[in-house]
Structure 1
């Protein structure tokens, strides 16, 4: 089973919680147990798992990344988004999760996020479930 989520972003840099949308796809598939692969086919967006109970964590992560990797005049990439490429490389373009009894296996406070580093744009997240 495979599908693609289209995730619109509204800011240049933000984390968008896609946990509900991912779970909705699993519900639609009826995949009771298995492994879920998430892949973001972009060079300036990523996917990550982090806390979803306190939205300030998302703000703090973006703040930390932009502080550590500001858009710098020394970057040579002509598009002017080298900082986004660096952040994507660090965050990663994929995640692997387990599905048990039709539910994503996440920690109590965890959520799945599309990490936008060069928006706003429409981003794609490819989901593939291997039944187990």
Structure 2
């Protein structure tokens, strides 16, 4: 198991961690199998999506804000970050990626993202 530290700069942010995961696979020498990328936070998540066009990240974050607005009159969580918890649950805490011949099995435009929501 390897811990990847991710520095975030904004409340809502998607950070590509594909290279860090790929480096781990190379370091371990794993040729075939599965890697699980897990986020142990209740206000952040993991997803796999396009990593070529930065507009995809902006569009996703904007749409998540539309679905889970930061301010909602019925939210009761005393920390005031219910939207972050909702977004994290929506994205999920982990992603499974296949490894074949020492490489991650991802589509041409796919990347693994850590998603910060708080």
TM-score by length of 2: 0.96
The match for 1:16 is: 15
**Count of aligned residue pairs for this structure pair:** 117
The match for 1:84 is: 84
Indicate the RMSD between aligned Cα atoms, in angstroms: 0.7
Unpaired runs of at least 5, structure 2: none
Residue 68 of structure 1 deviates from its aligned partner by 1.2
The match for 1:53 is: 52
Distance in 2 (alpha carbons) for counterparts of 1:83 and 1:109:
28
**Pairing of 1:32-71 with structure 2 (within 5 A):** 32-71=31-70
TM-score by length of 1: 0.86
SS of residue paired to 1:28: helix
SS of residue paired to 1:8: coil
Greater RCO (CA < 8 Å, at least 6 residues apart):
1
Unpaired runs of at least 5, structure 1: 119-132
Q: Give the number of the structure whose residues are more often strand, by fraction.
A: 1
Distance in 2 (alpha carbons) for counterparts of 1:6 and 1:73:
35
Per-residue CA deviation, residues 72-98 of structure 1 (Å, 9 max, x unaligned), is: 232100001000000011110011110
Q: Which runs of 4+ in 1 moved over 2 A?
A: none
SS of residue paired to 2:58: helix
